[in-house]
Amino acid sequence: MSNITSARTESGAAAWVDVRGPRFAAWVTTGVLVVILLVSHASALAAAVILGVQAVVFAVGALLGPRRHPYGVVFAKLVAPRLGPVGDREPVAPLQFAQLVGLVFAVLGVLGFSGGIPLLGLIATGLALVAAFLNAAFGICLGCQLYPLVSRLRPKPGNP
C-alpha cells in the first residue's frame, strides 16, 4: 500500500495515520457488531437502531477520514497519549474506502432488521464483523485490500 498517494492533505502531501488508530477503531467496531448480533435475537428493532448508529459512525469515517472518525477521536485523545511513538503509518484513502464498505453492510443490515428480513440483517452484520475482526486482530483491512482494485476502475481526470 505504500504506493497509494491519492489521499492528500491541503498542502498536497499524502495523508497518513498511525496504524494503531484504525485497529483500535476496528476493535470497538467488532464489539459493537457482536452486541448487535446478540441483541438481534431479542429484538430486531433494537439491533436495527444500534446498527443505525454504527452506520453513522461508518459514514463519518468514510466522509471525514480516520482523524474525525468517532472512534479515531477517542483513540487520539485517550489512547494514543499513553502509547509510545508512532511506528507505522498507513494512507487515509483506503481507510475511508473501508469505512464506506462498512457503511454499505450496515445499511443493508439496518434494512434487513427493520424491514422484517432478519436473515439479511444477520448476514450483513456478520460480514461486517468478520471484516472488523480481521483488521482488529490481524491487521488485515479487507476494504483497504479492495481499494487499489476499485481505484483503478475510476475514470482518470481528463479521460472520459
User: What is the block-wise mean pLDDT of the chain (160 residues), using blocks of 10 residues?
Assistant: 41 73 96 98 98 98 94 92 88 95 98 98 98 96 91 76
What is the rounded CA–CA span in Å between residue 121 and residue 36?
10
Name residues whose C-beta falls within 8 Å of residue 124's C-beta, 6 or more positions apart in sequence. 105, 106, 108, 109, 112
Domain ranges of the chain: 17-152
pLDDT at 2: 36
Burial class, 157, CB count within 10 angstroms (exposed 0-12 / middle 13-18 / buried 19+): exposed
pTM: 0.86
